[in-house]
Chain A
Amino acid sequence: MSTHTEHAVSPQAEARKYLITLVALLILTAITVGASYINFGSGNIVIALTIATIKATIVALIFMHLLHDKPVNAVIAVAGFVFLGIFLMFDFLDVDSRTNPQPINLHALPAATAPATAGAPAAAAPAKKE
């Protein structure tokens, strides 16, 4: 059982690897806090989330052993994040593509589409409102 999780390196070498990982994570934390004091406009959120993703990846690969573990665990982990990504993508696609339902927009819509779809059942509903 001791043969499979990790490759054959000494415990000392492994402890050193974990320590270097911790230092890297702390440096990245310092960078993200420092960057938050500088105004990059909308770039701030991109920087913060990019650094967070780098940190999370380092934690998953080294501390959670995904780098040297059986690949099936990494497949499960990546699949989870892929589905989360799909979920978030459609969420924000919806938000970004939605215009505010101002009264003027509602009025303009049937007038613009009416000639093209005249007689179609879909056009009947907005036409009734007019």
Chain B
Amino acid sequence: MEQQFDTSKIGMWLFLVTEVLTFGGLFAGFGLMQNKYPQEFVGAHEELKRWAGSTNTVVLLVSSFTAVMAVLAARTNQGKKAAMYLWITVGFGAVFMCIKAYEYMSDFQEGLYPGKFYSHHGDLIAGSHGYATFFSFYFMMTGLHGLHVLIGMGLMSWLAIRARRGEFSDKYYTPVDLVALFWHLVDMIWIYLFPLYYLIT
């Protein structure tokens, strides 16, 4: 059993590395374009709501804490407590997605669309492609990150039901541990997305 657990965990870490490299490619692209359009990128980032990004950072950090508490509860034979912590984590994920949805809506109202759909008025450098490029990266990266949050929420709900049924114990809690690892990685990606999109000057 122990060997099975270790093997699963190694597999999960290998998967997490592929995730890091996927997002790494997007970060590289963002950095290159920021180098090409420095003024436009600073101008475009002013359109984002810093309070929303900051709140979401806090929400994800607290959700990471509840996720690790769920692992601890599952590992110490407290199935109901594990289920509770998993549902709280799902709740924080939902709060994150609601704030993100609100941000997207207000961006769209101002014409802050990605790529050729960009129709915002009053930019400092009128007609530059830099603004639309910024929002292409913004929606691509936060969208892909949001998709990961949704997948994580789905997995956590499934585990919460199983934990409630008492399927996890100190003998077997592999799924809880691996999904929590995934959730922490999603949090880690946001830790980098937040300063790069909301705080650059």
The answer, among B5, B6, B191, for a CB contact under 8 Å with A56, is B191
Measured in the bound complex, the distance between the Cα atoms of B72 and A108 in whole Å is 67
Nearest CB of A to B28, in Å: 5
Indicate if A8 sits at the interface (CB-CB under 8 A): no
**A117 vs B58: C-alpha distance in the bound complex, in angstroms?**
61
The reply on A116 being an interface residue by CB < 8 A is no
Interface residues of B in 106-165 (CB under 8 A from A): none
A34 to B17, alpha carbons, bound, how many Å?
31
Size class of the contact patch on chain A: 35 or more
Q: By the criterion CB–CB under 8 Å, are B171 and A2 in contact? A: yes
What is the minimal beta-carbon distance from B64 to any residue of chain A, in angstroms? 5
- Residue B80 CB within 8 A of the other chain: no
Main secondary structure of the interface of B (DSSP, over half): helix
Tell me the A64-100 residues at the B interface (CB within 8 Å).
Answer: 64, 69-70, 72-73, 76-77, 79-81, 83-84, 87-88, 91-92, 95
Using a CB–CB cutoff of 8 Å, the interface residues on chain A facing chain B are 1-2, 4-6, 11, 14-15, 18-19, 21-22, 25-26, 29, 32-33, 36, 39, 44-45, 48-49, 51-52, 55-56, 59-60, 62-64, 69-70, 72-73, 76-77, 79-81, 83-84, 87-88, 91-92, 95
Residues of B within 8 A of A (CB): 1-2, 5-6, 9-10, 13-14, 16-17, 20-21, 24-25, 27-28, 31-32, 35, 50, 54, 57-58, 61-62, 64-65, 67-69, 72, 75-76, 170-172, 177, 180-181, 184-185, 187-188, 191-192, 194-196, 198-201
With contacts A32-B195, A36-B198, A48-B195 known, what are 20 further pairs, Cβ within 8 A? A1-B5, A1-B172, A29-B58, A36-B195, A36-B201, A51-B195, A52-B194, A56-B188, A63-B67, A63-B184, A63-B187, A64-B184, A73-B9, A76-B10, A77-B13, A77-B17, A84-B21, A88-B28, A91-B31, A91-B32
